[in-house]
Structure 1
Amino acid sequence: MIKTYHFSPNTPVLRDIAINTQRVAAHDPAQTLPCIVFCASVLESFINESCEYRRYLSSEARSCYTLRDYSFEMYRMVAERKRLQDKYFYALKLFFDNEDFKSQSVFESFKILVEVRNAIVHNKPEVMVTDGAASKPNIDLKSYPKFIRQLKSKRIISEVDGATSWVDILQSAELAAWSVKTMNDMIQLFMSALDDGEYKECFVRYYG
């Protein structure tokens, strides 16, 4: 019996949900947290699905050594649950044929986004200490998670008063907008690394 495979990526649907979450966060800053998580999840879904398109290309396109190597290696990385940063590093290095992308601001933002997502999903106890008779904590900026300092240096967040949990600091419409921009920019960065042809057209069809 001949089997026919059909593939329709789920990532575009997830991306729309992330964008809608950002719109809600503009009126309800608490929704920034699910927006961050969703944006990072979209990027994981995108790279995980990226190797599946090869199956549906013409025989000539499928035989491309680079694409064949990428497909097999990415399937392995997905199966072994490799880090999201490692998947994108492998993909971009292979298709760009260099590591110049590491210095681009979008790749730096991507790494920060993933770190923030991980901190939210794997939240650990946060103990805030006061000195003597002080009525509220006075946390030094260096005592916050590294991503708080990074976001502040990028001016995504402004004030860090030393008495606020990092979870509360993250709740802002500006950060939600940054998360969605980082998500979209990373998708475009991946696409820009691809040579024109059938494989790239698969992504253009869904992501413009």
Structure 2
Amino acid sequence: MTNAAGVMFIHWFSYLMIAREAHERAVAWREDSPSVVSGDGLVAVVFAALSVEAFINELTEMAARSTSLSPPTENGVMTDLGRTLSEIEDAKGPVELKYQMAFKILSGTTLSPGEQPYQDFKKLVQLRNDLVHLRHRDRTDDAGYVSPMSGVVRDLQQRRITLTRGRMPGDVPGGTSWLDELRSPEIAAWACRAAASIITTLGEMLPDDEDLGIAFVKQQVSQIPDLA
């Protein structure tokens, strides 16, 4: 979009669509070659997490531009939003804090850490961090069975959406690395839904009477398609 402050390109939506495309490929791959595991579950996790980070960062800049180009509204909510999120960014604060402060400013309260959509959002961010800052995250018991040390991966195992081996008839015993646990269409779907849910929840709280930039963000949020 373009205004008096120049051109600003919005990328969060593109990241989310890349994650969704990875999910679609993972589903198609399983249908075509059930015995071969696709890496698209990992792609979906990374790009879904990128989308939530891009959304809050681009919203921060949009809020700052909005208040610089027009007088603040009576309650000054976008001024507070832009200023607060910018300070968190300057202090290199985590993306989770940015979202919680955005919810606090827009609605008067933060989200419960143990409830949705925040719960899966936080797990998604942690999983992305584990993938990007890769190190050994497996443990092996005395019988030689491999299991993940990550609490996030163990939680996803319990939801039965990972590629955990040894739990189904005919499976080869021994387990598998935590990284390979995530290479499933179900993990891809979970990542896409986690990202879409936190973005939609926050986006729907944005005021309706702001400038073109905020209106454009709200329009994009409303266009997030349901996952098939």
Larger strand fraction of residues: 2
Residue 164 of structure 2 corresponds to residue 153 of structure 1:
no
Go from structure 1 to structure 2 and tell me whether the alpha carbon gap of 1:108 and 1:160 turns closer, same or farther (over 3 Å shift): farther
The correspondence of residues 18-29 of structure 1 with structure 2, limited to 5 A, is 18-26=19-27, 27=29, 29=38
Identify the residue that residue 14 of structure 2 maps to in structure 1: 13
The correspondence of residues 83-162 of structure 1 with structure 2, limited to 5 A, is 83-126=94-137, 128-129=139-140, 131=142, 137-139=144-146, 144-157=149-162, 159=164, 161=166
Go from structure 1 to structure 2 and tell me whether the alpha carbon gap of 1:18 and 1:99 turns closer, same or farther (over 3 Å shift): same
Larger helix fraction of residues: 1
How many Å apart are 1:4 and its aligned residue?
4.1
Contact 2:52–2:195 (CA<8 Å) still a contact in 1? yes
Identify the residue that residue 171 of structure 1 maps to in structure 2: 183
- Report the secondary structure of 1:156's partner residue: coil
Contact 1:47–1:88 (CA<8 Å) still a contact in 2? yes
Aligned equivalents of 1:29, 1:157: Cα separation in 2: 13
Identify the residue that residue 182 of structure 1 maps to in structure 2: 194
Identify the residue that residue 50 of structure 1 maps to in structure 2: 59
Contact 2:163–2:180 (CA<8 Å) still a contact in 1? no
Residue 206 of structure 2 corresponds to residue 201 of structure 1:
no
> TM-score normalised to the size of structure 1?
0.83
Please list the CA deviations of residues 109-162 of structure 1 after superposition, one character each: whole Å capped at 9, or x if unmatched. Answer: 10111111111111112465463xx5xx224x6x63101222133443374545
The correspondence of residues 36-75 of structure 1 with structure 2, limited to 5 A, is 36-54=45-63, 55-56=65-66, 59-61=70-72, 64-75=75-86
Matched AA of 1:99 = T
Go from structure 1 to structure 2 and tell me whether the alpha carbon gap of 1:84 and 1:160 turns closer, same or farther (over 3 Å shift): farther
Please list the CA deviations of residues 64-96 of structure 1 after superposition, one character each: whole Å capped at 9, or x if unmatched. Answer: 422111101211222332111111111112212
How many Å apart are 1:48 and its aligned residue?
0.3
Aligned equivalents of 1:34, 1:183: Cα separation in 2: 14
> TM-score normalised to the size of structure 2?
0.76
Aligned equivalents of 1:68, 1:119: Cα separation in 2: 34
Q: Which one of the candidate residues 92, 95, 112 is aligned to 1:81?
A: 92
Q: How many residues align?
A: 200
List alignment gaps of at least 5 residues for structure 2.
Answer: 30-36, 167-173, 223-228
Higher mean C-alpha displacement, 169-178 vs 184-193: 184-193
How many Å apart are 1:175 and its aligned residue?
0.5
Identify the residue that residue 226 of structure 2 maps to in structure 1: none
Q: Highest relative contact order (Cα 8 Å, sep 6+), 1 or 2?
A: 1
List alignment gaps of at least 5 residues for structure 1.
Answer: none
Aligned equivalents of 2:54, 2:76: Cα separation in 1: 24
Please list the CA deviations of residues 39-81 of structure 1 after superposition, one character each: whole Å capped at 9, or x if unmatched. Answer: 1011101100102223246624456422111101211222332
